[in-house]
C-alpha cells in the first residue's frame, strides 16, 4: 500500500499557548465568579485544560483540490508538541505564528 502525503498550511491558531498565562486567566476568572471577594484561588489550585484550535489548509499530493482541517489541542503535551514544529510558535513574542507548511505522511 502506498503512503499518502498531505501538505498542511497552518491558517490560524486560536487559544493560549502558554500554560502559565492560561492559569493566570483561569485564576482571575475563578476570582470574579466567586464575587471578587478575598484573595481568590492560588495559582497551584487552578490548572485549566488548553483550549487551542489549529486550522489548516490541506492539499493531497497529486490529487488536486484542497480541504480544511480543524485540529483541537486538548492537553498541554499536544500544545508543546505543536509549538515545537517549525514556524508555529514565536518564542520571543510568546505567540502563535501562522503560515507554516507541514507535511503529514500516512502509511
Handedness of CA 85, 6, 78, 31 (dihedral sign): positive
pLDDT at res. 107: 82
**Nearest-angstrom CA–CA distance, 24 and 44:** 10
pTM, whole model, 2 decimals? 0.78
pLDDT at res. 105: 83
Ranges of each domain in the chain: 4-18+49-106
For every one of its 107 residues, what pLDDT tens digit does the chain have, with 9 covering 90 and above?
Answer: 677 888 899 999 999 999 989 988 888 888 888 777 777 666 667 788 999 999 999 987 666 667 888 999 999 999 999 999 999 999 999 999 999 998 888 88
Amino acid at each position: 500500500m502506498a503512503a499518502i502525503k498531505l501538505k498542511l498550511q497552518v491558517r490560524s491558531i486560536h487559544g493560549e499557548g502558554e500554560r502559565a498565562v492560561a492559569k493566570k486567566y483561569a485564576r482571575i476568572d475563578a476570582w470574579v465568579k466567586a464575587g471578587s471577594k478575598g484573595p481568590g484561588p492560588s495559582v497551584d489550585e487552578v490548572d485549566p485544560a488548553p483550549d487551542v484550535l489549529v486550522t489548516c489548509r490541506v492539499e493531497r499530493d497529486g490529487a488536486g483540490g484542497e480541504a480544511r482541517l480543524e485540529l483541537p489541542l486538548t492537553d498541554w503535551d499536544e500544545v508543546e508538541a505543536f509549538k515545537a514544529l517549525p514556524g508555529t510558535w514565536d518564542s520571543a513574542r510568546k505567540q502563535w505564528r501562522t503560515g507554516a507548511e507541514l507535511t503529514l505522511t500516512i502509511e
